[in-house]
Structure 1
């Protein structure tokens, strides 16, 4: 990836719904004052049986999203 990952943070925490883990990602960026600002929230992407699979999918999705916009 060519975007600056020290500026962007990815929160790939899935939510539990109907017995599965729904992958989604929240992408934030660092602000000059030390806080963060949300720049994109994916919404539900896809459901998985395993939490780790949902996290991996959401992380990859977010990295590709950042690459398309800031790469």
Structure 2
């Protein structure tokens, strides 16, 4: 998985696994959440956005199942 630093809003960095379609998101507050069934198109859209935090909150967070890792 490729690690991408974003440091915007609540987001610190993320990793995407294309084979399993998992988006691993690390938040500035220490939370770590895995989003499942994320299409590559959505991930590419996120990285192409000028507002990572806004795109994430609108297009990723509410649309895909997730699990918080403690």
The reply to whether TM is greater than 0.5 is no
- Which of the two has higher C-alpha Rg? 1
Q: Which has the higher contact order (CA 8 A, sep 6+)?
A: 1
Q: TM tier, shorter chain?
A: 0.3 to 0.5
* Greater share of residues in strand: 2
Provide TM-score, normalisation by structure 2.
0.35
